[in-house]
Amino acid sequence: MNYFFWFLFFLAFPIIVHLFNFRRAKKLLFTNVKFIRKVSTETKSKTRLKHFLILGARLFAFLFLIAAFILSLIKLNSNELSRIDSMGLLYMDNSNSAIGNAINDERAFIEELVSSKKANSGFFLTNNFSSFSNNERTKTEILQKAEDLAVSYTSRSILDVLGRVEKQKDTYLISDFQDSSIEEFEEIKLDSANNYYLIYKQSSELKNAFVDSVWIVRDLEDYSNLLLYCKIGYTENFTEGNIVVKLIDDNENQISSVVVGMGNESEIEFSLPQNYSTSRFRIQINGDEIEYDNQFFVSLNESRSPSVLILSQTYNRYLSSIFGNSSLFNLTISTGEIDYELLKNVDLVVLNDYFELPVGLISQNLSEATYFIIPADSVDISNYRTEGGFSLETSPDLGSLEIQIAKGNELMKGVYKRIDEGASFPYARSNYQIQNVHEPILLLRNGSTLLGKEVESSLYFLTSPLKDEYTDFANHSIFLPIMYRIAEESLETDNTLFSYPNSFLEVSSLSPDLPPKIVSDGVEVIPEFSLTNQGGLVKIPNDLAPGFYHVLQGSDTIKSFGLNLPKNESLFTGPSFAEVNEFFANSSHVSVIPISDQKSSSVLDLADGNSLWKYALILAMIFILLETVFHRYIK
């Protein structure tokens, strides 16, 4: 602030001293007056020069003493003087990736930085965005807050941080900056009115492995069991070594463990019997190179058996045998007139051996079920186009062709690798060709589709009747898993096995009269929520620790979920120190400092004044010395 220059009034002191230091000259009478006047004139000229030199030396000595004082309290920035009456904003990224297990080192760094400041107050901000940061705090309060600093499970971008507190003259950002892209630094680069100190904690050299995703499928060899697959991800420089992946149940019992060699993307398979006593599991990764224990929480939703309705003009033993397992399916078979009451609460409707599809059954969506159409030996093509919504053409008779699996199809995920290498595939003779855009599941050797699915609807179809004279598909090992998968896909179930902070949970029932609660051991919060036609959406708060949670409405549990760290907290992605430094190379108001220099006094003193006060003090001493010289040697 300009009121620092009021100190320049101290320059009046040497002037006052100089004025009152004059002594009245004594008069002496001489006979030769002419001679006396000449000597007097010469003496007065020398005396006046001496007085001016001494006054100038005193003025400059005082001036540089005052300058030394002022320059120790202000900073020169872009030719502008600003008062340092506050240390500004100190932001500490206390996310798991930025702190990890080194939280004590981070506390020590903050304490050393704050203690080195001449200012007695400032703003202190962490990822929690607590009310503590709303007001300026004393150094004692900031140091106490740093002592209580804990890991936050919330990630913040640089723009969020800068928008939280009104812009300060000095802003210290201590972070690994992995959530910040180079584009987010543009606001800092353009804001030359303020000073920024980016204290960079290196993360690109850290190695870590983490659970990238988890999914559940049925065991194709024993469909009563579930297979839990997890995909392991890792940082780019983690290309060798081993990790141990463990599956642990809710009672802390280890179900299985697998040793994985890093270097390639890894998919790990765990078997879960259907009658397992818990639906909550924890995947834990251990290894010497893991930066911090990486745990992943999985919550399986309650499942029910698919309800299957077979509408067939003739009895089909293959369909009856596949879906007749009462432990897996609720099966109803109708071979006569269609009883539309049977369509209620059905998941999968199989239409087999129909020359004409029932009017309105599919086209008018009389049932919201998934449909699987198996044609008769001959069909009414126009009827299939009108009632089924897809275009058929009679296929030329090319004889029996080998069946192939269309790779990349989600329905066939896990099926292809179960087939032994060199095993024979079934054959089929296709009666029809599909003209609609569709998703192929099984192909014939000539590239035409045998089994496919409509892209815009839940409708599956075969282009060959399911009879021995047309195909041996029903006698092959791939027939059972494909049919099971189609039935499983027909279930409208919540397949969400895990969640991340700040995401939304779909709940089947939500009352506007009673807000939901998210609870866990020692935690109870009321989240944001909204009502939908299907129930509601509940937003997971951004500051919950990983673990298992329940959504309650009143005393009823309406949802359970496993909450995990965002993947970017484990991946350590973001601009490198060199990239950040290069980006701000021409920005004099931005200093990029590696946190490895935290013990350097030059780093800690960057924002407190400037070194010009030392030169001002030296000049003040020089002019004091000159005053002494003028006194002694000018007569």
Residues 141-165: tens digit of each pLDDT? 988 888 888 888 887 888 888 888 8
User: What pLDDT sits at residue 191?
Assistant: 86
In terms of pLDDT, which residue wins out, 353 or 33? 353
Closest CA to 62 of 628, 621, 532, 573: 621
Contact 498, 299 (CB under 8 A): yes
Q: What is the pLDDT of residues 504-536, one digit of tens each?
A: 988 877 888 888 999 998 889 999 898 887 788
What value, to the nearest 5°, has the Cα angle with vertex 335 and ends 329 and 338? 90
Neighbours of 450 (CB within 10 A): 24
What value, to the nearest 5°, has the Cα angle with vertex 515 and ends 511 and 520? 120
Q: Give the pairing type, strands 535-539 and 504-507.
A: antiparallel
Contact 200, 175 (CB under 8 A): yes
- In 25-138, alpha helices (H): 33-71, 96-99, 103-115
In terms of pLDDT, which residue wins out, 68 or 577? 577
User: What pLDDT sits at residue 349?
Assistant: 92
Residue 23 has pLDDT above 60, yes or no: no
In the numeric block, the tokens 């070194």 are attached to 611
Q: What is the pLDDT of residues 429-451, one digit of tens each?
A: 888 888 878 888 898 888 888 99
pLDDT grade for 81, boundaries at 50, 70 and 90: very low
In the numeric block, the tokens 């029809």 are attached to 432
Closest CA to 352 of 331, 329, 379: 379
Gap between the Cα atoms of 366 and 266, Å rounded: 44
Residue 612 has pLDDT above 90, yes or no: no
Structure tokens at 173: 């950002």
Residue 350 has pLDDT above 90, yes or no: yes
Residue 129 has pLDDT above 80, yes or no: yes
Name the least confident of 116-120, 236-240, 328-332, 369-373.
Answer: 236-240
| Burial status of residue 46 (CB atoms within 10 A of its CB: 0-12, 13-18, 19 or more) | exposed
User: What pLDDT sits at residue 152?
Assistant: 82
Closest CA to 299 of 560, 566, 538, 565: 560
What is the percentage of the chain residues whose pLDDT exceeds 90? 9
User: What pLDDT sits at residue 362?
Assistant: 82
Rg of the chain on CA atoms, in Å: 41
Contact 194, 168 (CB under 8 A): yes
Average pLDDT of span 614-632: 78
Gap between the Cα atoms of 356 and 387, Å rounded: 9
pTM value surpassing 0.85: no
CA distances from 631 to 18, 24, 51, 64, 310 (A): 13, 19, 9, 20, 119
Report which DSSP code applies to 95: B
Residue 579 has pLDDT above 70, yes or no: yes
User: What pLDDT sits at residue 359?
Assistant: 83
